Amino acid sequence: MAVSKVLHGRGVNVRIGAATAENIRRVAEELDYRPNEIARNLRSKQTKTIGLVFDETPMFGGKTRYFSDLMNGVTTAAFALGYSVMLCDSLIGPTDRNRLSDGRFDGLMWVRMTASQQILQDAVRLRLPSVMFADESLVTDPSTSYVSWDNRGAAAQVAKHLYSLGHRKVGFVIAAHSIVNPEARVRAGHFRETWIQCGGEKDQVETLIWDAGATNFDDWYANRNGITALVSWSESGAIAILERARALNIQVPKDLSVVGFDSSSHCDLTQPRLTAARQPVDEMAAKATEFLIRLIQSPDTDPLRFVFPSRLDIRESTASPLSVSGLEEKNICLH
The residues spanned by each domain of the chain are: 2-35, 47-150+280-310, 151-279+313-324
Higher pLDDT pick, 216 / 327 = 216
Average pLDDT over residues 194-205: 96
pLDDT over threshold 50, residue 134: yes
Report the alpha-carbon angle 252-254-258, nearest 5: 40
Residue 41: the pLDDT is 47
Residues of 78-94 as b/e, b for ≥16 C-beta within 10 angstroms?
beeeebebeebeebbee
Answer positive or negative: Cα dihedral of 220, 226, 232, 235: positive
Q: Are 294 and 287 in contact (CB under 8 A)?
A: no
The CA distances from residue 85 to 39, 48, 99, 113, 117, in Å, are 18, 9, 16, 19, 26
Which residue in 7, 70, 59, 57 sits closest to 283, CA to CA?
70
| Fold agreement between 47-150+280-310 and 151-279+313-324 | yes
Q: What is the pLDDT of residues 50-109, one digit of tens each?
A: 998 887 666 655 667 888 899 999 999 999 999 999 887 655 555 555 566 667 889 999
User: What is the distance, to the nearest Å, from the Cα of residue 322 to the centroid of all Cα atoms in its chain?
Assistant: 35
**What is the Cα–Cα distance from 105 to 313, expressed in whole angstroms?**
38
pLDDT at 196 over 90: yes
pLDDT at 2 over 90: no
pLDDT score for 65:
83
Question: Could you tell me if 137 and 186 are in contact, meaning their C-beta atoms sit under 8 angstroms apart?
Answer: yes
Starting at the edge strand found earlier in the chain, the sheet holding 107-111 runs: 84-89, 49-54, 107-111, 130-133, 145-149, 305-308
Q: pTM for the whole thing?
A: 0.79
What does 80-118 look like in DSSP terms, one character per residue?
A: HTT-EEEEEET--SGGGHHHHSSSS-SEEEEES--S-HH
Return the CATH number of 151-279+313-324, one of 3.40.50.2300, 3.40.190.10, 1.10.150.530, 3.20.20.70.
Answer: 3.40.50.2300
CATH number of 47-150+280-310: 3.40.50.2300
Please tell me the predicted confidence (pLDDT) of residue 146.
93
Q: Which residues of 212-249 are buried (b: 16+ CB within 10 A; e: fewer)?
A: bebebbeebbeebeebbbbbbbbbbbbbbbbbbbeeee
Task: Report pLDDT for 199.
Answer: 96
The 8-class DSSP code of residue 145 comes to E
